[in-house]
Amino acid sequence: MLTLVLLLLPIQASLAQDMYSSVPNGGNFGDWGTLHECPSGSRLTGFYMKVDRKTVTVDNSAVNAIFLFCTDISTGNRVGTVTSAGGNFGTDGPEYNCKPGTYVVAFALSVGKKNSFDDTGINNFRFKCSDGTTITGDGMPWGIWGGWSDKCPNGMSAIKTRFQHDQGPFKDDTALNDAQFLCISNSQWSIKG
């Protein structure tokens, strides 16, 4: 009996691990914010960003924050918005949404390359919807697009971001640098949905 219990422990531990979707081209400035999750029974279906669009100043920080929409899968109603660490520079842009009945399954980042004058972190977000279409934000053009994250077949339910806080006068701010999304697992989905 004791042997059976010991054999099951590693299986239960592996089932409890969360699967995060990430990309390798995220920036490394700043600290990771806390994970913010959609309400139970919902998943990510769209977004908007706060973007610093200054082009004539010395310091541009591009994407300062991203806000993601949570949609209840059984009703199709938006039930909340989630965000993680972010800044206040810039203005809110337009909303981008997957088609009704579809949801976000993967993402890609456009990230500024390190240079000697003015670095930026994330310049734009792109999401792949469950029907294969893509939605791309209205960020800045200075970044380089990386590849797609691993696909989350059941969708995504949470975000956490790496954010560099305001560095003060005459210092280089990069704002959002990286993001990770929590995939909805099969066992989680059967509980939530």
Identify the residue with better confidence: 131 or 121. 131
CATH for 26-192, options being 3.40.50.620, 3.20.20.80, 2.100.10.20, 3.30.530.20: 2.100.10.20
- The rounded Cα 108 to chain-centroid distance in angstroms is 9
C-alpha to C-alpha distance for 102 and 152, rounded to whole angstroms: 13
For the chain, the residue count is 193
Give pLDDT tens digits for 7-41: 333 333 333 356 889 999 888 878 899 999 999 99
* pLDDT value for 160: 95
Average pLDDT, the chain: 80
Burial code (b: 16+ CB inside 10 Å, e: under 16) for 48-66 equals bbbbbeeeeeebbbbbbbb
The owner of tokens 């990510």 is: 44
Contact between 172 and 59 under an 8 Å Cβ cutoff? The reply is yes
- pTM value surpassing 0.85: no
Question: 101 in the Ramachandran plot: left (φ > 0), alpha (ψ -120 to 50) or beta?
Answer: left
Does the pLDDT of residue 109 top 70, yes or no? yes
User: Across 25-29, 82-86, 87-91, 110-114, which has the greatest mean pLDDT?
Assistant: 82-86
pLDDT at 61: 67
Domain ranges, ordered by start, for the chain: 26-192
